[in-house]
Amino acid sequence: TRIRTLVLEYISISLRFTTLLGDFTDCTGHPLSAKDREKLIATSIEVVKEIGSTVPEHKILITADSMTFLSRIQSLPNVYVLPGKVGHIDYDYGDNINMKTFLDFYMIANAEVVYLTKTPEVYKSAFSETAAMVNDRNFNVIEYDWK
């Protein structure tokens, strides 16, 4: 018998909202107004769609520090979010959060291409860039304005 290996081609897109969407504990910034949160989420989803359109045959792994954003984005076709609770190791910890963080890092490290999307207010995290370095993956920062 022949054993076939399944190769899942996917890209990774990471977003680090910190406190902007009001659902993550961090030391930076303050939550946006409800109206601005919706605008930031909608614009961020459009950016993900735009990046995804460049490689329509690939799956898209989304990692973010906002459960609100993750719950909204996962309804898009070809978008995958790893299950688990997100949290900052300095403020929220436990096996579930640590496992989610580890799995996100591992999956980012194995993506075909790694993206970090950010606005001037969104944090330029080194998490996805460091993960990309593990397997020498192409890393790109996509900056956009949502206002």
At position 129, the amino acid (one-letter code) is E
The string of pLDDT tens digits covering residues 86-96 is: 765 655 555 67
pTM of the model: 0.88
Percent of all residues in the chain with a pLDDT value above 90, rounded to a whole number: 59
pLDDT band, very low/low/confident/very high, at 4 (cuts 50, 70, 90): low
Q: Quick one: 116 exposed, middle or buried, by C-beta within 10 A (0-12, 13-18, 19+)?
A: buried
pLDDT band, very low/low/confident/very high, at 84 (cuts 50, 70, 90): confident
Q: State the average pLDDT over residues 102-107.
A: 92
- Site of tokens 């970090």: 116
Contact residues for 132 (Cβ-Cβ < 8 A; gap 6+)? 108, 109, 111, 114, 138, 139
Residue 124 has pLDDT above 70, yes or no: yes
Contact residues for 71 (Cβ-Cβ < 8 A; gap 6+)? none
Across the chain, what does the average pLDDT equal?
87
Residue ranges in 54-135 assigned as alpha helix (H): 67-73, 95-109, 127-134
The string of pLDDT tens digits covering residues 108-119 is: 999 999 999 999
The string of pLDDT tens digits covering residues 5-38 is: 556 689 999 998 987 888 766 666 788 999 999 9
Q: Which one is predicted more confidently, 84 or 39?
A: 39
Query: In this structure, are residues 65 and 100 in contact, taking their beta carbons and an 8 Å threshold?
Result: no
